[in-house]
Structure 1
């Protein structure tokens, strides 16, 4: 489609025939995200026409939601299910202009700063101590306890910008740095919380404590990387009146993490009264259902 065809489509957006309007709208949405700059330009030229402005904004929203759905389908079909990519896809729901390469570059910078302080003689606990110093002290990440349910806590670009987030997003960033350093940690999907587990690659905990979780210890990124053990998770579950279950101690999948991210956003928008976003994101959940 060339520029003249695009201009012709734009000129038909305010056609008095509703059927033509629907056809034009569907055609533009089908073209996808590359149409958004042209729609934005048209929006600026129609700033005095409230009805046209609302229509164009709705079309842009439809394009973004359709793009998000397709990207998520592609991500789910991918073999690696890259966690940073999954988080970036969700962030584009609210911030379509974000650059995933900038996010990866930022993670790479943290990774480099941690790597400079590591050596092969460090124990697992010492590795995490180094990671914590760089991640929390030098880069200033922390849990957003004051605005725990704010939607920004679930968007990776905003968590990087604000240096504050919820347990899940802090864990995703923390894990992403660790993975680049080949530190064996994975996410643990607790009710009302999220932790990461340092995996027991050498079977130490299995031999000493007799547990079969293949986890050496747990880490709480929301509390500046505090080290936890199974007994503390038992206590946490007890406070929630929940019985211990294997899924509360074992690593979860990347799909589980992205699903929880979407659910967290739905909860945020429910609290803020944004029904449209609740409906849009609820429509995405079946794609990443268990």
Structure 2
């Protein structure tokens, strides 16, 4: 790995006339891995457009390589305690544009802000922080667009689909020691946590408020008729990620983005294979 003080010199060689020099520079910069953009950012204004284009290419190769590594590791351990975080991080960073902050950094910043504001947080504090102070909300524009399902963009724009908002809330909850579950309701996705009076179901499209009593009563009746209880429809990380991938594939299809549609479809097939189920069995 090159020394930090050598970076300005190395980057000036990104478009060197000698292909061997260019290749060596790319290899040395690639040694920084996922930290490449962070360590080179202070020097971007010193680079020409062709040099920046080469640097973007190196960064993209690193993102692709890291994704395959992290994704395959997660597929081999779907029950990992932090599985939702790991899968979301892999997907978010694979789809993050050059120069945008990585998912882990965005989450770490939120954790620090939340812990500072609420040293001993409750679920009410979590909802207030996300949906009032941070301002997360339902999409204001077209629902089925990629930015509403790409978690890095959801955090930056403060808006997203129900399952995207739930995923962020669940990851943040886990990071501060709260246990929040995803609830897979047909056509909707909500979150639940235990209380002294039973389970509390919260809707991310209603600022994280509990369900109205009439709707909760209706859903409980439907569950009882099926012989189920709330925990029976809690969604494991793998099922959540599969639903998120379906949303992404649908959004890509709506925008006629064939390249990303093919990627999301392939990742979904990978996940289905790891879960050892048929494609039409995954809800």
Same fold (TM > 0.5): yes
Taking only aligned residues, the RMSD between alpha carbons, in angstroms, comes to 4.2
Q: 1:71 to 1:184 in 2, by over 3 A?
A: closer
1:45 deviates by 6.3
Q: Is the 8 A contact 1:184 1:198 kept in 2?
A: yes
Structure 2 CA distance for aligned equivalents of residues 114 and 151 of structure 1: 32
State yes or no: 1:44 paired with 2:50: yes
Equivalent in 223, 228, 231 of residue 206 of structure 2: 223
State yes or no: 1:113 paired with 2:114: no
Aligned residue in 2 for 1:271: 254
Residue segments in structure 2 that go unaligned for 5+ positions in a row:
3-9, 38-46, 276-283
Q: 1:278 to 1:244 in 2, by over 3 A?
A: farther
Task: Give 1 or 2 for the bigger CA radius of gyration.
Answer: 1
Moved more, 275-284 or 143-152: 143-152
State yes or no: 1:104 paired with 2:108: yes
1:101 deviates by 3.1
SS at match of 1:261: helix
SS at match of 2:182: strand
Aligned residue in 2 for 1:138: 133
Q: Is the 8 A contact 1:115 1:181 kept in 2?
A: no
Equivalent in 171, 178, 186 of residue 176 of structure 1: 171
Q: 1:34 to 1:173 in 2, by over 3 A?
A: closer
Moved more, 64-73 or 148-157: 64-73
Q: 1:151 to 1:199 in 2, by over 3 A?
A: same
Aligned residue in 2 for 1:128: 123
After TM superposition, the score normalised by the length of structure 2 is 0.66
Give the total of aligned pairs: 239
Q: 1:194 to 1:111 in 2, by over 3 A?
A: farther
Q: 1:149 to 1:246 in 2, by over 3 A?
A: farther
Q: 1:68 to 1:198 in 2, by over 3 A?
A: same
1:184 deviates by 2.7
Q: 1:241-270 CA distances to partner (integer Å, 9 max, x unpaired)?
A: xx9584985211111112222111101100
After TM superposition, the score normalised by the length of structure 1 is 0.65
Q: Is the 8 A contact 1:132 1:225 kept in 2?
A: yes
Residue segments in structure 1 that go unaligned for 5+ positions in a row:
13-23, 48-52, 119-126, 206-215, 238-242
